[in-house]
Structure 1
Amino acid sequence: MKTKINKDYTLEILDMLLNSPSPTGYTHHIMSKVEAEFKKLGFEIAYTNKGCGIVTIPGVDSDRVIGISAHVDTLGAMVRSIKSNGYLRITSLGGFMMGAIENEYCRIHTRDGRVYEGTILTIHPSTHVYEDARELKRDEVNMEIRIDELVNSKEETEALGIGVGDYVSFDPRVRILDNGYIKSRHLDDKASVAAIFGLLELVVSQNLRPKHTVKLFISTYEEVGHGSSYIPEEITDLIAVDMGALGDDLSGNEHKVSICAKDSSGPYDYHMTSKMIEHAKELNIGYAVDIYPKYGSDVSAALRGGHDIRGCLMGPGVHASHSMERTHINAVVNTAALLAAYIVDPA
């Protein structure tokens, strides 16, 4: 089956998603945008109690139901405490190196809807002043946020409405280059969500009918391990669409679709994974099969949640995951094309 994914549309959606702050647990704003886009394509969205979105694509039959999951929640932080000088201590949301956010611009989102700018720094941020500036261990206790407001005390910061438990989002620094490279924070997993929208636009524009009913599942707590611990009970097969890890001992790259055979939660379903590989070969899509020993997915969470499902994991290759990430539009649109082939001819 040959498919033509709308690249311009997919990039437009990806740009919107990347520029919408959504640290894990603070996803209601981005889900409103996601809902609006689903409605533009003619689909209604239902929500779980914790804010995950579900969209149904009717199939030729409903004897099996294929779930396709991707997550909009990202890495981020929370205000842990307000220091006596008005600066903020943070606690991390998700698993990242503190060095990956050092010197990064950020936003503080207060509970009453105000947003303030800041910069994440070490407590000894200058080699002109501190002898241990280079050697200081980059961990939470040695990191702080300098707020871009006139504050010199805890009381002055509190007067801004900033408090413990406020969310902190990182500047994504989105760059979409003419040569197809896309570099930004949070390509994990917004590149995959954009691919799902590319798939859905194809379903609508080409009147594509899946063999079985498909349920798109947009999860909101994946970065902390329970995004899809609940999924609709009728789902029998779940495809987690998530970024492919790249690096030593891995064969993927930023132009390829990564297909994961096994991660920290164990092997993925043999038949589903084999069918993904088969379709990638048929479509002449660049792909790589890899093992991710330090990785978990929405399928992992669903299996831990007790669901009787088969599962597989695939998605665009992303370099420097949980840091300054980069992928290529080829990997994103080919992820959508591979999904399209699979829902027409599943395992």
Structure 2
Amino acid sequence: MNLTLDKNYILQTAKELLEFNSPTGFCFEIMDMISEKVKNFGFDFQTTNKGMGIITIPGEDDSKVIGLSAHVDTLGAMVRSITSDGNLKFTLLGGPILPTLDSEYCKIRTRDGKIYTGTFLSTSPAAHVFEDSATKKRSLENMEIRIDEVVKNKEDVLSLGINSGDFIFIEPKTVITESGFIKSRFIDDKGSVAALMGLLDVISREKIIPRFKTKILISNYEEVGHGSAYIPEDISELLAVDMGCIGDDLNCTEYDVSICAKDSSGPYDYNMTTTLVELAKKNDLKYVVDIYPMYGSDVSAALRGGNNIRGALIGPGVHASHGMERTHYSALENTIKLLYLYLTEKIEQA
């Protein structure tokens, strides 16, 4: 396969996306940034009423529309209440692994745009004070956020403009190593968004025309289950690009593109999945096929939303999902190449 990917662009875009705060429900700012990038490539970018981004790529044949999707919304938190001594109780957005939040830095954004910093902590945070500092269960009931402001009570916090319902951005701690690893929170699913941007970059540079009109969906509510519940009605096939799982009883590594045959929503389309496997095999991509029992995707949401589509799922292998995640550039590269093949190769499906 003669495809020249811009590794520096892909990694830099991944870093930029990962460091940009976009917890589920707060994606309008990052969508503006993505819109500018897409327009620089010369492609049309529209947003739905719900805020999903839709990128349109003309094809050789407009009789069929292929959809790709990835989600830019991440896990996060929101202020639930303010304690009498001026700390914040919080509610989760999506499902971060709570113990991994202990001692993490964060930012609190008020409704009028002020930003304050803070730290997630156990309510027994000091080893010299609390006998259960190491053993106390890290649960919502036992954790709070300490604000980096001089506050001694609830009224002091309210005077800062902080209120229930304010968004809390978790520090992603993004690092890209010389050996090609990407370490960060929220590689699920910004790694896949970076892969799609890398695909757009090579399509634009090399003036590639997909076989069919293609619409790329950047969803903004996937982490709460309804990211692509609505999709444009002209899409007949939707290929979700989301993280591949790594762990017990799974084949995936941080270097692979994962092809998911089934997740908690059931099996994906047999013919689409078979085609993806055959393309990966024929072109010597590093790929695996896996089943993810505790997982759902944008295709899952689209099918549950009643859309008349075929659906499949692929994505880069990501270690330690919903915690401190890691993947490797190789996984992004294999994912981009498989997407390119799916859009450009002549495919006969039943």
Smaller-chain TM-score range?
A: over 0.9
Per the TM alignment, residue 29 of structure 1 is displaced from its structure 2 partner at its CA by 1.0
Preserved contact between residue 88 and residue 146 of structure 1 (Cα < 8 Å): yes
Aligned-residue CA RMSD (Å) = 0.9
The structural deviation recorded for 1:4 is 2.1
The reply on whether 1:99 has 2:110 as its aligned counterpart is no
Displacement of 1:278: 1.2
Instruction: Give the letter for the 1:334 counterpart.
Output: N
What is the CA-CA distance between 1:5 and the residue it aligns to?
1.7
Residue 83 of structure 2 is matched in structure 1 by 83
SS at match of 2:44: coil
Match of 2:277 in 1: 277
Runs of 4 or more above 3 Å deviation: none
Specify the alignment match of 2:42 in structure 1: 42
In structure 1, the residue matched to 2:17 is: 17
Match of 1:245 in 2: 245
| SS of match in other structure, 2:235 | coil
* Counterpart-to-counterpart distance in 2, 1:222 and 1:59: 27
1:336 correspondence with 2:340: no
1:111-156 CA distances to partner (integer Å, 9 max, x unpaired)? 1011111000011111211112222121111110001111111111
Unaligned segments of structure 2, at least 5 residues: none
| 1:103-114 equivalence runs, <5 A | 103-114=103-114
For the pair 1:326 / 2:326, whether they are aligned, the reply is yes
Note if 1:195 corresponds to 2:189. Answer: no
Q: CA deviation at 1:96?
A: 2.2
The CA distance in 2 between the partners of 1:15 and 1:227, in whole Å, is: 23
Q: Does 1:138 align with 2:138?
A: yes
1:157 paired with 2:170, answer no
Which residue identity does 2:218 align to in structure 1? I
- Give CA-to-partner distance per residue, 1:282-341, whole Å, 9 cap, x none: 221111100000000000000000001000000100000000000000111221111011
1:69-80 to structure 2, matched below 5 A, reads 69-80=69-80
Write the deviation string for residues 78-105 of structure 1: whole angstroms up to 9, x where unpaired.
Answer: 0000111111000000012210211100
State the shift of 1:2 in Å.
3.0
Cα distance between partner residues in 2 of 1:7 and 1:282? 23
Output the CA distance in 2 between the equivalents of 1:287 and 1:247.
16
| Structure 1 counterpart of 2:131, one-letter code | E
**Runs (5+) with no aligned partner, structure 1:** none
Task: Return the offset for 1:259.
Answer: 0.6
Partner SS for 1:285: coil
User: Aligned pair count?
Assistant: 347
Structure 2 Cα separation of the partners of residues 96 and 294 of structure 1: 14
The question of whether the paired residues in 1 share the 8 Å contact of 2:66 and 2:237 is answered with yes
Q: Distance in 2 between matches of 1:50 and 1:102?
A: 33
Question: SS of the residue aligned with 1:45?
Answer: strand
1:197-245 residue CA offsets vs partner (Å, 9 max, x unmatched): 1111111111111111100000000000000000000000000000001
**TM-score, with normalisation over the residues of structure 1?**
0.98
Report the alpha carbon displacement of residue 277 of structure 1 after superposing the two structures with TM. 1.0
AA at the equivalent of 1:71: H
Q: Does 1:208 align with 2:203?
A: no
Q: Percent identity?
A: 55
| Conservation of the 8 A alpha-carbon contact between 1:192 and 1:242 | yes
Q: Distance in 1 between matches of 2:247 and 2:2?
A: 31
Partner of 1:287: 287
Maintained 8 Å contact 1:188/1:321: yes
Question: 2:44–2:57: 8 Å Cα contact kept in structure 1?
Answer: no
Deviation at 1:18, TM superposition (A): 0.5
Counterpart contact for 1:81–1:90, Cα < 8 Å: yes
